Structure 1
Amino acid sequence: MLAFTFFWNAILPLYEVITLRTLGKNREKYGKVRLWGSVGFIGAVALVGGLLELVPIQNLPWLLLPVFAGIAVSAFLVPSEQGERKPPAPKGSLKAIVSHPAVVTFFLMNFLLQVSHGAYYTFFSIHLAQYGYGKLSIGLLWSLGVFAEIALFLVMHRLTRNFTVRQIAIGALTLTMIRWILIAEMTDVLAILLFAQLLHAASYGALHAISVQYIQGFFGQHHHGQGQALYSGLTFGAGGALGAWLSGFLVDGFSTSAAFWGGAAAMAIAIVITWRGLRPPPVHGEV
């Protein structure tokens, strides 16, 4: 797993770049491509959740091996990029982009977003089990969140036409904060929990979709790959790790509910930062 995630996290940003370059002027259709990863996630968690009701958890590595093999095979099916070699980037431009106030705000927003997800990715299943939910139910609840994400990806191009990046970001962050509060306090009410899982469309789907296009807008043709790598490393990597670590302290000291309250607090800070500093990217991707 260490070796897999080391290389996977390095290559994932490049997949985003290849996808957006392939889409070209149709980059608003990114969500319709990205949703297939979510479809695979739904199938995996639902299937494995059901299988683990029948077989011991010790068999999980054997269940994962075919998936890893499929990933390896599919990597060879990705075509090489075609086209002329791009001209060299102007010196110092990457530093200017990264230090731009709007870009700093963007990375802080996404860093705090992933900090808030630390409790979710680390303790959500444990939290549900404490309230009596079975393995299959937990798998289906995970799937519901990703199903909402897929639905959002299908209509994301319409949202980006009718709302600004700042409006979408603030709205999604607010819904994410509400989601963590509902999970923290009302897990035993199934209808509320189902609604909270549907909010995954905002806490991941909407913010990831606008973030990928935001990076393309600010980092442009020359530094798109580096921008995606920074986005992946600083947010999903550093933010997710810090969130998981901090939520562990909250769980040990208090409860799993406290960890989700910590995520809500991170979202409150992110909303203020985004409100004050997030600005739309340049039209042609140059600062």
Structure 2
Amino acid sequence: MPNSAFSSANLVLLALTYFFYFGQFGVLIPYLGVFLDGRGFSSAQIGELFALITLARILGPNLLAAIADKTGQPLRCLQIGALFTFTTFCCAFVINGFWALTISFAFMMMCWTAILPQIEVLTLNCVHANPARYSKVRLWGSIGYIVLTVFTGKMIDEFNSEAPIIIGAFVLFSLFMATLFVRQPPADPSHQMVTESIWKKIHSPIFYGFLSSAILLQISFGPYYGFFALYTRDLGYSGQMTGWLIALGVVAEVLIFLQSGKLIARVGVKWILFISMLLTALRWYLLAVLADHLAVLIFSQILHAFSFGMAHAASMHFIYHYFNKKHQGQGQAIYASIAFGIGGAVGNYGAGVIWQQGVGAELAFTLAAGFALLSAFLLLFISAKRM
């Protein structure tokens, strides 16, 4: 066990926590559609399930963050949330049917997404909000995503569509075990001295603009998160090839994370986000019209470096500096729950309605490109000096 929250050993444990947390994304997000398809769900049902469980992201992060900020115990909240995530996920082994799986996955999603703001707050405090040090810890989440995405794709090819559930249970148990050894920094005396209400920071044109842009970006991810693996399968790519394609995007994300601190300092949060969203629009349009060309598909996946990597790093930088320390957890939770919860739910539901067993794939990704463009456009109304 590390002797200090600021020790190298504790940062390694935080890196391991990111590895398993985002590794589960690599197991579940690309392949949940494949798993549900294997259990006989239609594309409309898959979209509805994704939308409903994504809505659960609104409650969980805000509830846990309020408790963590009030008690000053983000680590304890993280550990409890990780345990509940594992137990609720394991329900998929014994239940079936649309509503049974929807409810169990919704509870899992509520707990799972609730713990990410606590991981972010712990890490940012342990590295003293240094963007370069944060990126080096956070990139292990991307590595976990790569490793487990490729591995899960291979296991689907070797066995069947139930593989993501078996692998996911192991990953979530490992995540819980890793959190038991992490240490948190000592309480900051200034934490209790802050009297400014968080609502004053939330109710401002700057935050509304930032959050609205983030919602639109997440709406644009709907077809990708819900149907990319099914899309590539329909185009004739194997499960393993899909895993490698997804991993390629995350490799690009890792490389950009290593430079994100320097790029944010040089270019600024606003313009990093603006450029990232323009490139995201290009990415979705390429998937809409040219995904049957492997070279174009590879290029579109490299753009993940911006559509997620730089967009995430810049958003974390903005939130950390926008909210005071007492409200860090709640600020992170509001961003995660509203942007990913509402935006993700709308995007997933819309994609499910449009997809029509693959017939509407081109339309779905074209509309996604439009939402990404709108996301970039909104940022033009925010002063770069305020971000």
TM-score, normalization: structure 2?
A: 0.70
The corresponding residue for 1:133 is 237
The question of 1:262 aligning with 2:367 is answered: yes
Report if the CA contact (8 A) 1:165-1:280 is conserved: no
Report if the CA contact (8 A) 1:105-1:278 is conserved: no
Matched residues in 1 for 2:321 and 2:163: separation?
A: 45
SS of match in other structure, 2:181: coil
The corresponding residue for 1:84 is 188
The corresponding residue for 2:57 is none
Cα gap change, 1:169 to 1:25, in 2 (>3 Å):
closer
The runs of at least 4 consecutive aligned structure 1 residues that moved more than 6 Å come to: none
Report if the CA contact (8 A) 1:118-1:247 is conserved: yes
Report if the CA contact (8 A) 2:122-2:184 is conserved: no
Matched residues in 1 for 2:164 and 2:124: separation?
A: 34
Matched residues in 2 for 1:280 and 1:195: separation?
A: 33
Q: Name whichever of 95-104 and 175-184 sits farther off.
A: 95-104
Report if the CA contact (8 A) 1:117-1:263 is conserved: yes
Q: How does 1:154-169 map to 2 (within 5 A)?
A: 154-169=258-273
Q: Name whichever of 82-91 and 26-35 sits farther off.
A: 82-91
The question of 1:113 aligning with 2:217 is answered: yes
Q: Any idea what the Cα deviations from partners look like across 1:110-166, whole Å, max 9, x if unmatched?
A: 111111001110011111111101111011111011111001101111211220211
Matched residues in 2 for 1:76 and 1:281: separation?
A: 38
SS of match in other structure, 2:221: helix
The corresponding residue for 1:204 is 308
Q: How does 1:1-287 map to 2 (within 5 A)?
A: 1=89, 2=105, 3-24=107-128, 26-85=130-189, 86-91=191-196, 93-252=197-356, 255-277=360-382, 279-281=384-386
Q: Any idea what the Cα deviations from partners look like across 1:187-240, whole Å, max 9, x if unmatched?
A: 111111101000000000001001011011111212111100001101112211
Q: Give aligned-pair identity as a percent.
A: 31
Report if the CA contact (8 A) 2:152-2:163 is conserved: no
Question: Which AA in structure 2 matches 1:89?
Answer: V
Question: Displacement, 1:25?
Answer: 5.0
Question: Displacement, 1:60?
Answer: 3.4
Question: Which AA in structure 2 matches 1:117?
Answer: F
Matched residues in 2 for 1:114 and 1:62: separation?
A: 28
Question: Displacement, 1:33?
Answer: 1.1
Question: Displacement, 1:50?
Answer: 1.1
Q: Any idea what the Cα deviations from partners look like across 1:65-95, whole Å, max 9, x if unmatched?
A: 221211111111221331433224324x311
Question: Displacement, 1:252?
Answer: 2.5
TM-score, normalization: structure 1?
A: 0.93
Matched residues in 2 for 1:178 and 1:60: separation?
A: 30
**Number of residue pairs the alignment of both structures matches:** 281
Report if the CA contact (8 A) 2:156-2:162 is conserved: no
SS of match in other structure, 1:57: coil
Question: Displacement, 1:281?
Answer: 4.4
Matched residues in 1 for 2:363 and 2:147: separation?
A: 30
Cα gap change, 1:59 to 1:26, in 2 (>3 Å):
closer
Matched residues in 2 for 1:41 and 1:56: separation?
A: 20
Q: Name whichever of 208-217 and 19-28 sits farther off.
A: 19-28
Matched residues in 2 for 1:32 and 1:66: separation?
A: 25
Unmatched segments (≥5 aa) in structure 2: 1-88, 90-104
Report if the CA contact (8 A) 1:106-1:278 is conserved: no
Matched residues in 2 for 1:278 and 1:258: separation?
A: 34
Report if the CA contact (8 A) 1:166-1:279 is conserved: yes
Question: Displacement, 1:280?
Answer: 4.2
Q: Name whichever of 248-257 and 185-194 sits farther off.
A: 248-257
Unmatched segments (≥5 aa) in structure 1: 283-287
Report if the CA contact (8 A) 2:254-2:309 is conserved: yes
The corresponding residue for 1:285 is none
